Amino acid sequence: MARLVQFDRLGGPEVLTLRDVEVGAPGAGEVLIRVDAIGLNRAEIMYREGGYFYEPVFPSTLGYEAAGVVEAVGEGVDGFAEGDLVAVVPAFLQSEYGTYGDHVIVPASAVVPRPADVDPVQAAAVWMAYITAYGPLAESRQVRPGDHVLITAASSSVGLAAIQVARHVGAIPIATTRGADKKQRLLDAGAAHVIVTDEEDLPARIKEITGGEGVRLAFDPIAGPGVETLAQGIAPGGFLVVYGALDPRPTPLPNAQSFPALNSSTYTLFEITTNPERLGRAVAFVNAGLASGSFNPVVDRTFDLAEIADAHRYMAANGQVGKIVVTVAHDEATS
């Protein structure tokens, strides 16, 4: 038997239940993993509440990221064997697979090797954040050395990864945060500048920082009407990349009536993780950054698997700086 987090109805953290279930053997193209750590993402809150871009199938599990050890592989799986250290990347629907458990089955296409010197907590904090940042800031080649990059909601795990990726490619990261309490931590995390949006005029500060030029790219998980303000700080020919929908209100085409020289797009890491060739390049890029020390995942706090509801409440409160990770204890006599 395995312990698996499931929920039977939409709602708050209280709907999450830790249950004993029979996991079974992995099928063709699948891998059974003993999970040691789970990375939490805001997408899982949205999924639990019914606000994600697809609906749960009850009883539903959830979770996109994990780190652990391979216990069995299904038919047709090459490249992985029992005992391999691995991590799980977001490359599947939570209505079909999930990582919130002590033993889970996931598609082999969503599994990547974990270097021996990267511990499970670090590995569980890497892939959603760094692949999300990698796409627009590195793979797209839209950002050049010396360019200014605006990173909104920068205290999130993706925001902090984006600061590090921007620096890795030679760009100058400008971080935003609503309150001044996180400003110093963002500077310590590598932001060249921090704009406190509750206290400062965002377009004016961007123009001041960039000498009137504006940023080359704005990287935004919020969406909604606020993109109009972001657009005012983007240089002509620059890019607005929206990768989330934290603001549920409609998102306009920024300044459409004035026809600015602005490239607007949406983006998710699934564009990369569901493409084997692109995923391979992303994994190589991130692993190189980890090995060189350019990338250092920031973990705000850890919870035990039995505290999963508390972990979701903590994430919903928006006080964290970095990743929330759930650790999984195993009884070695039965694991």
> What is the CATH classification number for the domain harbouring 309?
3.90.180.10
- DSSP-assigned letter for residue 273: H
Range of the domain at 144: 129-270
Mind listing the pLDDT tens digit for each residue in 61-74? Answer: 999 999 999 999 99
118 and 186 together in one domain: no
What HEC string does 140-192 produce? CCCCCCCCEEEECCCCCHHHHHHHHHHHHCCCEEEEEECCHHHHHHHHHCCCC
148 and 244 together in one domain: yes
219 and 201 together in one domain: yes
CB atoms within 10 A of CB 96: 12
Using only C-alpha atoms, the chain has a radius of gyration, in whole angstroms, of: 20
Mind listing the pLDDT tens digit for each residue in 74-85? Answer: 999 999 999 999
∠ at Cα 56 (273, 324), nearest 5°? 60
Q: How distant, in Å, are the alpha carbons of 23, 40, 64, 83 from that of 18?
A: 14, 16, 17, 26
By C-alpha distance, which of 91, 95, 71, 66 is closest to 83?
Answer: 71
29 and 154 together in one domain: no
- Over the chain, what is the mean pLDDT? 95
Mind listing the pLDDT tens digit for each residue in 257-270? Answer: 666 788 999 999 99
Residue ranges of the chain with per-residue pLDDT less than 70: 256-259, 332-335
- DSSP-assigned letter for residue 307: G
- DSSP-assigned letter for residue 199: T
120 and 136 together in one domain: no
Among 226, 251, 270, identify where a domain stops.
270
* 223 within a domain of the structure (yes/no): yes
* 59 within a domain of the structure (yes/no): yes
| Count of structural domains within the chain | 2
72 and 25 together in one domain: yes
